[in-house]
């Protein structure tokens, strides 16, 4: 039972579901009790009164009518990743795209191809874009030209995700003048820790130096840390370093996704595995969240990634579910083919075990993580960090 006004989510049994379904069909309470012998009158009335007291419903007279709220599917597309290159000046341990300085990569997308994709995505309702790699500044001036094009098209939010090493005064000034948001990777509070991940000597110093310069220029800056075995003891220290030494207040950490080099199980942050397990029903669900998760996948339904080879994926991390290639079809046609619809609207009604769970429309689902963590790389696998058994209603530890 989802209270979309407060965000609270409640687990109810099958008999309660049957009772509320009858109420939704405007069957009177007297009729319900008369034709359903298994509903005890006192218990049923008491239960409905409890729901009313909790703000989850109200008793109505015979002539009263409340229009049922119809939740329409959310807009089709809101966020676009452009992976402008798979090349990178670093070779991070966990890289989802297996980027490196020298890598064979089919970078067939031309400047005009990228502009066409941005225009098509914008026409589909997309208003946010992130340039990413690899390392996006690896393509030099072409990146700045693409940013100008995104501005001209009308994107409301433009961000570059960079390791920060290849930035210079000219590029930083450009980002500041054009009010471009920047996300940087920060893997530790010191060179010793950070460079265990990047494998690039001197990368920490350059990232820190350029982060400070961007702060001085007033650029909207955030920092992202991916936690793995080599830096798992430095999470709090890294958060503190970003805030106090770099002045970055928007700093978060996440965990390795099983994509690319992230499939290497030996780099997983084992100390954080217990904390990632869901062992209790601590859910909140807004109307927007419910809409997204009822009608599709909460990420796939509103995001896409286009690579330098023209391949289209539903997520930057999901490389096992290609939707098509923009060199062969328009983005509009790709998103309307049956395969794309199946993937993008893959809600938990289609996921093993989750399909029978009462919390499924409030439970965040990282499909790349669930798929990559399953023994057979199963796209429809239940997330292995969820400890709930919907058939018994019992949470594990």
Domain ranges of the chain: 14-53, 79-277, 311-395
* Nearest-5° Cα angle at 163, 174 to 153: 45
pLDDT band at 258 (very low <50, low <70, confident <90, very high): very high
Q: Is the pLDDT of residue 146 over 70?
A: yes
Mean pLDDT check: name the lowest of 54-58, 278-282, 390-394. 54-58
Summarised one tens digit per residue, pLDDT across range 356-378 is: 999 999 999 999 999 999 999 99
Helix (H) or strand (E) holding 222: strand 221-227
Predicted confidence at residue 69, as pLDDT, reads: 78
Predicted confidence at residue 190, as pLDDT, reads: 98
Predicted confidence at residue 67, as pLDDT, reads: 81
Other CB atoms closer than 10 Å to residue 13's CB: what's the count?
10
Predicted confidence at residue 101, as pLDDT, reads: 81
Q: Is the pLDDT of residue 120 over 90?
A: yes
Of 13, 17, 45, 15, nearest in space to 29 by CA: 45
Alpha carbon distance 227, 382 (integer Å): 23
In the chain, alpha helices (H): 14-24, 29-35, 41-53, 111-123, 141-153, 169-177, 191-198, 203-216, 235-244, 273-276, 287-295, 331-335, 338-344, 367-373
Summarised one tens digit per residue, pLDDT across range 15-61 is: 999 999 998 888 899 999 988 888 999 999 999 999 999 989 899 88
Pairing of strands 181-185, 157-162: parallel
Q: Is the pLDDT of residue 128 over 80?
A: yes
The end-to-end CA distance of the chain, in Å, is 24
Predicted confidence at residue 104, as pLDDT, reads: 63
What does the pLDDT average to over 176-193?
99
Residue 361 near residue 348, CB atoms below 8 Å: yes
Between residues 108 and 388, which one has the greater pLDDT?
Answer: 388
Q: Is the pLDDT of residue 75 over 80?
A: no
| Buried-state track 244-255, b at ≥16 Cβ within 10 A, e below 16 | eebebeebebeb
Q: What is the largest CA-CA distance in the chain?
A: 79
Mean pLDDT of the chain: 94
Query: Would residue 263 be called left, alpha or beta, if left means φ above 0 and alpha means ψ between -120 and 50 degrees?
Result: alpha
What does the pLDDT average to over 136-155?
98
DSSP state of 129: E
Alpha carbon distance 200, 174 (integer Å): 26
* Torsion sign (Cα): 145, 147, 148, 150: positive
Alpha carbon distance 296, 72 (integer Å): 12
Q: Which residues contact 16 (CB under 8 A, 6 or more apart)?
A: 47
pLDDT band at 105 (very low <50, low <70, confident <90, very high): low
DSSP state of 182: E
Predicted confidence at residue 71, as pLDDT, reads: 82
Alpha carbon distance 291, 76 (integer Å): 12
Alpha carbon distance 36, 79 (integer Å): 49
The CATH number of 79-277 is 3.20.20.70
Predicted confidence at residue 223, as pLDDT, reads: 98
């Amino acid at each position: 039972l989802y209270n979309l006004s407060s965000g609270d989510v409640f687990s109810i049994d099958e008999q309660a579901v049957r009772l509320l379904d009858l109420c939704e069909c405007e069957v009177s309470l007297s009729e319900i009790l008369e034709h359903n012998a298994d509903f005890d009158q006192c218990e049923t009335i008491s239960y409905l009164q409890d729901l009313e007291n909790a703000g989850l419903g109200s008793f109505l007279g015979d002539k009263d009518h409340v229009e049922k709220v119809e939740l329409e599917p959310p807009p089709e597309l809101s966020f676009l990743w452009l992976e402008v290159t798979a090349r990178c000046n670093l070779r991070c341990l966990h890289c989802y795209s297996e980027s490196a300085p020298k890598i064979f990569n089919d970078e067939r997308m031309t400047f005009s191809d990228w502009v066409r994709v941005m225009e098509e995505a914008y026409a589909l309702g997309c208003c946010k874009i992130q340039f990413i790699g690899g390392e996006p500044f690896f393509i030099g001036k072409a990146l700045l030209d693409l940013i100008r094009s995104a501005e001209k098209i009308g994107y409301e939010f433009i961000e570059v995700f960079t390791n920060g090493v290849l930035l210079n005064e000219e590029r930083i000034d450009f980002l500041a003048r054009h009010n471009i948001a920047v996300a940087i990777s920060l893997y530790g509070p010191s060179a010793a820790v950070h460079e265990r991940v990047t494998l690039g000597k001197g990368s920490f110093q350059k990232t820190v130096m350029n982060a400070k310069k961007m702060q001085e220029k007033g650029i909207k800056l955030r920092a992202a840390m991916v936690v793995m075995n080599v830096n798992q003891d430095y999470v709090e220290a890294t958060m503190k370093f970003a805030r106090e030494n770099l002045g970055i207040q928007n700093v978060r950490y996440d965990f390795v996704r099983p994509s690319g080099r992230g499939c290497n199980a030996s780099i997983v942050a084992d100390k954080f595995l217990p904390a990632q397990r869901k062992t209790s029903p601590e859910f909140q669900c807004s109307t927007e969240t419910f809409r997204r998760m009822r009608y599709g996948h909460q990420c796939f339904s509103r995001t896409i990634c286009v690579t330098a080879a023209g391949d289209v994926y539903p997520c930057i991390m999901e490389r096992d579910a290609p939707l098509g290639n923009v060199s062969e079809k328009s983005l509009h046609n790709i998103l309307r083919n049956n395969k794309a619809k199946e993937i993008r609207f893959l809600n938990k009604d289609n996921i093993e075990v989750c399909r029978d769970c009462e919390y499924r429309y409030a439970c965040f689902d990282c499909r790349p993580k669930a798929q990559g963590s399953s023994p057979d790389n199963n796209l429809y696998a239940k997330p292995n960090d969820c400890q709930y058994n919907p058939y018994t209603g019992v949470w594990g530890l």
